[in-house]
Amino acid sequence: MANDMTKGNPVKLILSFMLPLLLGNLFQQLYSMADTIIVGRTIGVQALAAVGATGSISFLMIGFVQGITSGFAVITAQRFGAGSEAGVRRSAAASISLSIITAVIMTAVSALAARPLLELMKTPPDIIDMSYDYIIVIFCGISSAVFFNLFSAIVRSLGDSRTPLIFLVLASILNIILDFALILGFGMGVEGAGYATVTAQIFSGILCFIYSMKKYKILRLHKEDWHFDRSFWGMHLAAGLPMAFQFSITAIGSMTIQAALNSLGSTPVAAFTAGSKIDQFATLPLISLGVAIATYAAQNYGAGKINRVRDGVTKAAFLSIAWSIIGGAIVIIFSRPLTSLFIGDGAEEVINLSKQYLMINGCCYIMVGLLFVYRNALQGISRSVLALIAGVCELVMRALVAFVLVGTLGFTAVCIASPTAWLSATVWLMAVYFIVIKKIK
């Protein structure tokens, strides 16, 4: 059901909104996790490295989609917080129209750029063909990601984080079933893992659209809601594009690291793949908290309740610090057995390198937790360009590490790249947030 976050205890509202998001993100990660585990344990380490080598390229395109649709939904959340049902409908209609255009463009661009990007990143010759077979399937099905992310974001803008969870659970189960069927049953290799992911996204996207339109009267669009309004569309693009570029800039930074990593060979690539998957799971609560803050801040900003924005963001920052300490400790203590889930116990070099990566990153989760809170808060109060600058900071630091340190420090430089980027971005975000919130108040 819709949830007005402009009234009530901020911590309770944020946590109740966050928990379904966390479960949803967990099951969404199972898409990737299922691919990685099944590929690594059934096809081999080279196949694991092949899927892993596409991670930053995939994030470049899919991250753009996630960012732009989330940005559109910020306007929807602000209209909902202001109590404007007509504004919510018009925002949903504009978001759908813009997302159709986005899907067409992104499908063409990503499909054409897939092979050149793999070559640009110096993907090892022994895995580049498998990498391409996997990523081209994902990119050709990118429209499924566009529409699932859009309708999930619209529903979340109304304060409902539970409905998208239901369909993510169903999709993740379907994805795992299809992974086994296509990879083991039909022998399709890494390409089968790609088809499984796209099919599951299509399934969940269609269900989320049908259910949300039936459940929420406020989303049942009228003919006049589709009327083209240049300034209104521009408002959505002004919110969506900076968030999209934020994801893409972060992805480009990751690509520079991936390119440097690829030059070290397939063993470090496999270790980084396993370590980064574990890292992603450990930071899911922080990501979910950030998304919750974006909706909370947007609704209260739309309602003109700036004191509630400040109060909720401050308390969310303390929550992020608490989980960062717990999550970091878990990752550091159990780094070896967690890595063994992906590749078994035989590949000792891969396990040791992955353990090194997790120990360094696990010590720095406080920085990334604060980054998610303050970046999403700025996006919720329509300061996406300031949040985008933080992405530029991350890109610069990752590029410096990739081009300057990898040659001398090797895999250790890959391990310190993200913490260095997190630090630079967090310092900027916290500084500008406090300046902006004081100015608005």
Residue whose token pair is 């991936």: 258
pLDDT of res. 345: 56
pLDDT range class, residue 106, cuts 50, 70, 90: very high
Task: Flag whether 38 is in a domain.
Answer: yes
Q: Could you tell me which residue, 293 or 126, shows the higher pLDDT?
A: 293
Q: Which stretch, 39-53, 218-232, 248-262, has highest mean pLDDT?
A: 218-232
Task: Flag whether 3 is in a domain.
Answer: no
Distance between alpha carbon 57 and the CA centroid of its chain, in Å?
Answer: 13
Is 60 exceeded by the pLDDT of residue 1?
Answer: no
Task: Flag whether 67 is in a domain.
Answer: yes
Is 90 exceeded by the pLDDT of residue 47?
Answer: no
Sort 405 into a burial class: Cβ within 10 Å, 0-12 / 13-18 / 19+. middle
pLDDT of res. 94: 93
Give the mean model confidence (pLDDT) for residues 31-53.
70
pLDDT of res. 2: 62
pLDDT of res. 119: 86
Q: What is d(CA 347, CA 266) in angstroms, rounded to the nearest whole number?
A: 12
Asked if 422 and 283 touch (Cβ cutoff 8 Å), the reply is no
- The CB density around residue 7, as the number of other CB atoms within 10 Å, is 12
Task: Flag whether 91 is in a domain.
Answer: yes
Is 90 exceeded by the pLDDT of residue 78?
Answer: no
Query: Could you write out the DSSP letters of every residue in 237-264?
Result: HHHHHHHHHHHHHHHHHHHHHHHHHHTT
Q: What is d(CA 25, CA 9) in angstroms, rounded to the nearest whole number?
A: 24
Is 80 exceeded by the pLDDT of residue 29?
Answer: no
For residue range 323-355, list pLDDT tens digits in order: 999 999 998 888 888 877 766 555 677 888 888
Distance between alpha carbon 91 and the CA centroid of its chain, in Å?
Answer: 23
Query: Helices 335-343 and 10-38 meet at what angle, rounded to 10?
Result: 40
Minimal CA–CA distance to 372: which of 437, 280, 292, 255?
Answer: 292
Asked if 240 and 98 touch (Cβ cutoff 8 Å), the reply is yes
Task: Flag whether 1 is in a domain.
Answer: no
Give the mean model confidence (pLDDT) for residues 219-241.
88
* Domain around 301: 10-440
Report the range of poorest mean pLDDT among 52-61, 84-93, 212-221.
52-61
For residue range 404-434, list pLDDT tens digits in order: 887 778 888 888 888 999 999 999 999 999 9
Six-digit token pair at 374?
Answer: 């303050």
- 3-class secondary structure, 334: coil
pLDDT of res. 4: 73
For residue range 112-124, list pLDDT tens digits in order: 988 998 888 778 7
pLDDT of res. 378: 93
Largest CA-CA distance found in the chain, in angstroms, rounded: 63
pLDDT of res. 368: 92
pLDDT of res. 67: 87
pLDDT of res. 418: 87
pLDDT range class, residue 90, cuts 50, 70, 90: very high
pLDDT of res. 346: 56
Residue whose token pair is 């083991």: 184
Give the mean model confidence (pLDDT) for residues 143-154.
88
Q: What is d(CA 47, CA 40) in angstroms, rounded to the nearest whole number?
A: 6
Q: Could you tell me which residue, 363 or 166, shows the higher pLDDT?
A: 363
- Count of structural domains within the chain: 1
Is 70 exceeded by the pLDDT of residue 33?
Answer: no
Dihedral Cα 128, 54, 352, 406, nearest 10 deg: 80
Query: Could you write out the DSSP letters of every residue in 130-197?
Result: HHHHHHHHHHHTHHHHHHHHHHHHHHHHTT--HHHHHHHHHHHHHHHHHHIIIIIIS--HHHHHHHHH
Is 90 exceeded by the pLDDT of residue 373?
Answer: yes
pLDDT range class, residue 365, cuts 50, 70, 90: very high
Summary mean pLDDT of the chain:
85
Task: Flag whether 390 is in a domain.
Answer: yes
Q: Could you tell me which residue, 132 or 249, shows the higher pLDDT?
A: 132
Radius of gyration of the chain (CA): 21
Give the mean model confidence (pLDDT) for residues 162-183.
82
3-state helix, strand, coil in the chain (%, to 5): 85, 0, 15
H helix intervals, 263-364: 266-282, 284-302, 306-333, 335-343, 348-362
Is 80 exceeded by the pLDDT of residue 17?
Answer: yes
Residue whose token pair is 């890595």: 339
Task: Flag whether 4 is in a domain.
Answer: no
pLDDT range class, residue 268, cuts 50, 70, 90: confident
Q: What is d(CA 334, CA 336) in angstroms, rounded to the nearest whole number?
A: 6
Six-digit token pair at 258?
Answer: 């991936």
Q: Could you tell me which residue, 5 or 15, shows the higher pLDDT?
A: 15
Asked if 49 and 270 touch (Cβ cutoff 8 Å), the reply is yes
Task: Flag whether 66 is in a domain.
Answer: yes
Q: Which residues of 352-389 are buried (b: 16+ CB within 10 A; e: fewer)?
A: ebbbbbbbbbbebbbbbbbbbbbbbbbbbbbbbebbbb
